Amino acid sequence: MSHTHDEALLAQVAALPALPGVYRYFDAQEQLLYVGKALNLKRRVSSYFQKDHGGTRIGHMVGKITRMETTVVRSEAEALLLENNLIKTLHPRFNILFRDDKSYPYLKLTGNGRVALPAVVKTPEAQHYPRVAYYRGSVEKKHRYFGPFPSAWAVKESIQLIQKVFRLRTCEDTVFANRTRPCLLFQIKRCSGPCVNLISPEDYKADVQLAEQFLRGETQALMQEMEARMMAHAERLEFEQAAEVRNQLTALSRVLHQQSVDTAVDTDADILVAKVQGGRACVNLAMVRGGRHLGDRPYFPVHVQDAQDLLGLEEGDGDSELKRPVEVQVLEAFLAQHYIGVPVPPLLILSAAVDKVLIDALSAQSGVKISTVTQPREHRRVWLEMAEKNADLQLARLLAEEGSQQARTRALAEALDLAPDDLDQLHIECFDISHTAGENTQASCVVFRQHKMQSGDYRRYNIEGITPGDDYAAMRQVLMRRYGKLAEALRSGEGTAKLPDLVLIDGGKGQVSMAREVFTDLGLDLSRIVGVEKGEGRKVGLEELVFADGREKVYLGKDSAALMLVAQIRDEAHRFAITGMRAQRAKVRMGGSKIEEIPGIGPRKRAKLLQRFGGVRGVESASVEDLLGVDGISRDLAEAIYNALH
C-alpha cells in the first residue's frame, strides 16, 4: 500500500522512534480514523504501511490515511490511558467505541454530619435533619453521596428501604420549613416527623448514622448496634422506643434476606460480561454497592468488526493465531473507557481475563487497588451467571429489534416499488405543519435513513407571509424552501445533491396536491410523494396512502410492517412539531414574565397591557404614546416598558 501514500507521510513513519506512544490517523477531510497505542511506535505504525492489505477492512482504512499524529509517552500504561481518553472524546471511525452520555444517579444525604445540634429545639430547622434524596450530577463536599447506582429505579428503591427502616425525611427544605402538622409519610411510618418536632435532633442523627452504615454495607456492625440500642431502651423501661428499634431490625433483616447476599464480604464490586453475536456486542454491567446487588445496565459498542481486524494487526502483525477473542477486546475497551470519570470499585468480576497492564493502569488512575476475578465461586458465581443471562437477553433484544426494523424498511420499499441501490441508505423525509389557533405556524421535517430516525438531520421552519391557519400554503412554502435549492443543484449537475427516495406528507389529497404543484414547478419526480391520510374515525392502523403521480390509494393493512414504519415516521414528525410549538409558546410566556420583571409592573398592570395589545408581541410593537393609553401607566413607566422590550 505504501506507494499510494504521500512521501511526506511515509518519511514521517520512517522517522518514528522505537518508544511507547499513541498514534492517530486522519483522512483527507481531517476526520479521525483510528487511535492506537504501541510499545514500539516505529514497528507498530510501519506494519500498516509496509504490507498490501488488499480489500480488507484494514486496507480500506489504510487507503484513507493522509495525515498522522503521534505522542510519545513513558510507559505502556500511560499509552493505554491516553489512547482511551482520545477514543472517548474524539469518537474515531475504526475504534471500538462506547457512547454513553448519561451520568450515573446517586443517593444523597444532605449536610456533612458536622453541624452542631441545638440544646433546645423550639422551631425545627432543616439543616439539623438531613434529607435523603435522588441526585444526578457532580458531587459536592458539603453533602454525602452513595453510589453510583445503575439506574434511577435502584436509587428510588434504596430510598424506600431507608424510609421503611430508618424513617428519614425526603421532603424539600421549603416544605419542611412550612409544615404545621405531619404529612402522610409520618402516618404510614415512613418518616419520623422531624418537621413538627416529633423526634429530637440527637435521635434523628442516630438514625442517619445507622442509614449511612447500611449504605456502606456495614450490616453486621449495624445490626449489633441496633440490638444494643433496643436493649438499652428496655433496661430504662422505654418500651415504646425499644419496640420501634425492634421493628427497624425486623424490616432490615427482611431486606437483607431478600438480597440473598453474603454481607460479610464484597461491599462494592462491578460484574462485567461481554457477549458478541451477529456482528453486534453487549457489555452488561451489574453493580454491587454496600453489599447489595443494585441491578444491571447494558452497553452496546459500535465499530466492533472494524476494530477487531485492526487490533488483530496490532497484536500479531496480521497473524490470526495471535488474535485475542473479540469478547476480550470489547471488555478491555469498556474497562478503559468506562472508568474515565466514573468511580471504580476495588473488585471487578469479569467474564474473561483481561490484560494485567490495563488493570494496573486503572489502579494508578483511580488510586484504588483493583483486583479481578474471572472464575468466581459461591455468591460471586451467582452474580456472574445473572449478568451473563442479562447480557444474552439484551443482545437478543437488540438483534431482534434491528432485524424487525430492517424488515419494516424492506416491506415499505416493496409495497411502494422503491428500488434504492442499498436498502440501508433508503432515505425518507416526512413533513408536518403545526400552529396555535392559526398563529405561530411551524413546519417540521424529520429524516429516516439506515433503518432509524436521524435526529441530527431534523429541521424546523418558521412559516411567515401566509393567511393564518392556511396549512396548504404552509406546506407549499416549506417544500419550496426544502427542495428549491436542491432542484437547482440537480439541474446544474453540481455537487452530490440527491433527493430522498420518499417524501411523506402528513395529510390527504389536499396536501398531496400542493406537494405535486411544488414538485411540478421544480421539475422533480412526482412518484416520490406519498400522503398519509387518516382512515375512518381517524383510527390508528386504518391510514391510507395517497400518491401524487395518479396511482390509486393504497391500504396496506393494520398489521403491515410497511404501514408500521410509515406510522412510526409520521408520529415522529408530529412529536417533533409539537415540541417546537411548545418551545414557541414557552418563548411567549417568557416574554410575559419579562414584562412583569420591569420595575413598577405587577400582575395587574401586566394583565391590562396584554389585554389592551392582544399579547406580548402587541406590547412589544406598541409605541410610548400607545402605552400611555393604558390605565395606570405613566410616561416614565411607558418609557421604561418600551426600553425594556427594545
Residues 251, 253, 259, 264, Cα dihedral to 10°: 140
Residue 299, pLDDT above cutoff 70: yes
For the segment 2-21, the average pLDDT, to the nearest whole number, is: 83
Domain membership flag for residue 475: yes
Do 61 and 10 lie in one domain? The reply is yes
345 in Cβ contact with 291 (< 8 Å):
no
Do 62 and 110 lie in one domain? The reply is no
pLDDT value at position 388? 94
How many domains is the chain partitioned into structurally? 5
Q: In what order do the strands lie in the sheet with 292-299?
A: 292-299, 280-289, 269-277, 347-350, 371-373
Say if residue 441 is exposed, middle or buried (CB neighbours under 10 Å; 0-12, 13-18, 19+).
Answer: buried
The 10s digit of each residue's pLDDT in 539-571 is 666 788 899 888 888 887 777 888 889 989 998
Of 239, 259, 279, the residue that ends a domain is: 259
pLDDT value at position 446? 95
The 10s digit of each residue's pLDDT in 473-528 is 989 999 999 999 888 888 877 667 788 999 999 888 889 999 999 999 988 888 88
- Domain housing 616: 597-645
284 in Cβ contact with 150 (< 8 Å):
no
For the segment 378-389, the average pLDDT, to the nearest whole number, is: 90
pTM comes to 0.63
Q: What is the 3-state secondary structure (H, E, C) of 144-178?
A: EEECCCCCHHHHHHHHHHHHHHHCCCCCCHHHHHC
Using DSSP, state whether 109 is helix, strand or coil: strand
Vertex 427: Cα angle to 424 and 431 (nearest 5) = 145
pLDDT value at position 285? 94
Vertex 361: Cα angle to 357 and 362 (nearest 5) = 120
Number of continuous H segments (helices) and E segments (strands) in the chain: 21, 18
Do 174 and 250 lie in one domain? The reply is yes
Do 474 and 574 lie in one domain? The reply is yes
Q: Ranked by mean pLDDT, which of 52-56, 288-292, 426-430 comes out on top?
A: 426-430
The 10s digit of each residue's pLDDT in 127-142 is 889 999 998 877 778 8
The 10s digit of each residue's pLDDT in 154-193 is 888 889 888 888 889 999 888 898 888 988 899 988 899 9
Closest CA to 82 of 70, 97, 67, 66: 70
Identify the band that residue 627 occupies on the pLDDT scale cut at 50, 70 and 90.
confident
Do 430 and 549 lie in one domain? The reply is yes
Domain membership flag for residue 96: no
Identify the band that residue 275 occupies on the pLDDT scale cut at 50, 70 and 90.
very high
pLDDT value at position 232? 85
Distances (CA, A) of 80 to 45, 341, 345, 614: 16, 15, 20, 63
Q: Which residue has the higher pLDDT, 143 or 262?
A: 143
**What is the Cα–Cα distance from 510 to 513, expressed in whole angstroms?**
5
Domain membership flag for residue 409: no
CB-based burial, 477-516: b 16+ in 10 Å, e otherwise: bbbeebbeebbeebeeeeeeeebbbbbbbbbbeebbbbbb
The 10s digit of each residue's pLDDT in 222-244 is 778 778 888 888 888 888 878 87
Residue 530, pLDDT above cutoff 90: yes
Do 314 and 293 lie in one domain? The reply is yes
Can you read off the three cell numbers belonging to residue 301?
A: 459498542
Closest CA to 440 of 479, 466, 458, 459: 466
The 10s digit of each residue's pLDDT in 86-109 is 988 888 888 888 876 567 888 999
Q: Give the relative orientation of helices 76-90 and 356-366 as an angle to the nearest 10 degrees.
A: 80
pLDDT value at position 640? 83
Do 125 and 174 lie in one domain? The reply is yes
335 in Cβ contact with 309 (< 8 Å):
no
Q: Which amino acid is at 242?
A: A
Give the CATH number, domain containing residue 618. Answer: 1.10.150.20
pLDDT value at position 417? 77
Domain membership flag for residue 407: no
Q: How far is CA 299 from the centre of its chain?
A: 12
Do 434 and 569 lie in one domain? The reply is yes
Do 250 and 316 lie in one domain? The reply is no
Domain membership flag for residue 100: no
Long-range contacts of 423-428, Cβ-Cβ distance < 8 Å, separation of 24 or more: 424/450, 424/451, 425/449, 425/450, 426/501, 426/502, 427/498, 427/500, 427/501, 427/502, 428/500, 428/501, 428/502, 428/503, 428/504, 428/569
Give the CATH number, domain containing residue 12. Answer: 3.40.1440.10
pLDDT value at position 437? 62
Closest CA to 170 of 215, 218, 134: 134
